[in-house]
């Protein structure tokens, strides 16, 4: 049932062509970024030619890799911007005042985080000059919440707002939607699963201990520790203490180790439960993307979900494609 409801059974259009980049254009790009830029550049070029768009706005352009390729190889005029909610409101205000002399444009976003995706969709709907939208969303859990159970920008569509009266997704559901896909999970080795079990198990036990015994600490380094196959729980605690403000006296250490002995037997359940999460991930992501597609359709425009990237390389592989 989970497989049937997932994105892989959604009858989404598949796109697998790539614009192969020369080695000099791949400089400073990791393999994932190369894959995304090659696929996205080819797809944008194909869709822009259909609608005769020569101008592209790249939302959240980052290092500008996509814009550089579109300009240098395909002769498009590209404006790369890092947009904020404040900037989006100003853009929408200008749209209400009308437009004149603005050429047809394509609006693209590669991994637009949280509410930025929704702002981009609304900008597409409100600006007459934007004829094409290609949007990859990510970090669904970063969307602004109204309270513990509702989000400011979900649901967007009338259909989903009606359903939301009876069912709702919480923050953990949105976080799950942004995690790895089934394809990348299947590539993991036994060693990968063992390390994941240790990471999740040790971190959870420490978090429980901090809550139970009133411990608090701050990180001194971005990454607290690296776990290996033979990392014991005491080794893990010592590493955390050396890279944070956490101090554990003899009495506290004994309590934490006793807690570990209690919790350790259930650590073997971490991977089976993670597998269940992997099964539900595409279903929740589909709900979010379908809600956004329906919102665009309610505004009177064509919209669908398209699989552009290989999800073994890029987990957020599905784009919202809309045009006027």
Same domain for 234 and 89: no
Same domain for 137 and 22: yes
For residue 47, being part of any structural domain is answered with: yes
Query: For residues 34 and 54, is the Cβ–Cβ distance under 8 A?
Result: no
Query: For residues 184 and 312, is the Cβ–Cβ distance under 8 A?
Result: yes
pLDDT in tens, 65-95: 999 999 999 999 999 886 555 544 544 444 4
| Rounded Cα distance, 157 and 179, in Å | 24
Query: For residues 103 and 55, is the Cβ–Cβ distance under 8 A?
Result: yes
For residue 278, being part of any structural domain is answered with: no
| CATH code for position 119 | 3.40.50
Query: For residues 318 and 136, is the Cβ–Cβ distance under 8 A?
Result: yes
For residue 25, being part of any structural domain is answered with: yes
Same domain for 19 and 102: yes
CB atoms under 10 Å from CB of 280, counted, come to: 16
92 or 214: which leads in pLDDT? 214
Same domain for 129 and 9: yes
Q: What is the DSSP letter of 22?
A: P
CA atoms within 13 A on the CB side of 286: 17
| Rounded Cα distance, 223 and 287, in Å | 33
Give, in degrees to the nearest 5, the angle at Cα 196 between 194 and 200: 120
pLDDT in tens, 264-318: 999 999 999 999 999 999 999 999 999 999 999 999 999 999 999 998 899 999 9
- Whole-prediction pTM: 0.82
Same domain for 18 and 87: yes
Distance in angstroms between the alpha carbons of the first and the last residue of the chain = 35
Residue 53 makes CB contacts below 8 A (sequence gap 6+) with 104, 105, 106, 131, 132
pLDDT value of position 38: 95
Same domain for 145 and 16: yes
Pairing of strands 105-113, 130-138: parallel
Same domain for 138 and 20: yes
Same domain for 33 and 135: yes
Same domain for 123 and 240: no
Range of the domain at 55: 2-182+283-323
5 or 24: which leads in pLDDT? 24
pLDDT in tens, 93-126: 444 454 456 789 999 999 899 999 999 999 999 9
Same domain for 175 and 189: no
Helices 190-213 and 233-242 meet at what angle, rounded to 10? 70
| Rounded Cα distance, 277 and 176, in Å | 7
How many structural domains is the chain composed of? 2
Tokens coding 304: 């669908």
Same domain for 257 and 308: no
With cut-offs at 50, 70 and 90, classify the pLDDT of residue 218. Answer: confident
The answer to whether the Cα torsion of 86, 80, 306, 112 is positive or negative is negative
């Amino acid at each position: 049932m989970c497989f049937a409801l997932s994105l892989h059974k959604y009858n989404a259009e598949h796109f697998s062509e790539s614009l192969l980049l020369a080695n000099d254009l791949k400089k400073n790009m990791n393999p994932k970024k190369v894959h995304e830029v090659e696929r996205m550049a080819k797809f944008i070029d194909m869709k822009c030619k259909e609608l005769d768009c020569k101008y592209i706005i790249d939302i959240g352009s980052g290092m500008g890799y996509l814009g550089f390729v579109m300009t240098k190889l395909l002769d498009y005029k590209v404006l790369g911007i890092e947009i904020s909610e404040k900037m989006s409101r100003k853009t929408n205000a200008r749209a209400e005042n009308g437009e004149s002399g603005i050429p047809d444009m394509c609006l693209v976003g590669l991994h637009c985080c949280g509410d930025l995706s929704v702002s981009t969709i609304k900008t597409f709907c409100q600006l007459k000059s934007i004829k094409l939208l290609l949007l990859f969303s990510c970090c669904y859990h970063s969307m602004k919440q109204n309270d513990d159970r509702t989000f400011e920008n979900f649901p967007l569509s009338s259909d989903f707002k009606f359903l939301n009266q009876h069912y709702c997704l919480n923050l953990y559901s949105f976080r799950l939607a942004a995690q790895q896909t089934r394809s990348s999970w299947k590539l993991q080795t036994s060693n990968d699963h063992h390390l994941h079990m240790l990471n999740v198990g040790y971190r959870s036990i420490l978090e429980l201990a901090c809550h139970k015994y009133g411990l608090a600490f701050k990180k001194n380094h971005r990454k607290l520790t690296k776990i290996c196959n033979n990392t014991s729980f005491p080794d893990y605690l010592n590493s955390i203490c050396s890279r944070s403000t956490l101090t554990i006296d003899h009495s506290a250490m004994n309590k934490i180790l006793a807690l570990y002995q209690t919790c350790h037997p259930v650590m073997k359940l971490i991977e089976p439960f993670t597998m269940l999460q992997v099964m539900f991930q595409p279903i929740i992501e589909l709900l979010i993307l379908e809600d956004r597609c329906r919102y665009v359709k309610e505004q009177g425009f064509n919209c669908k979900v398209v699989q552009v990237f290989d999800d073994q390389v890029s987990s957020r592989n599905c784009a919202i494609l809309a045009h006027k």
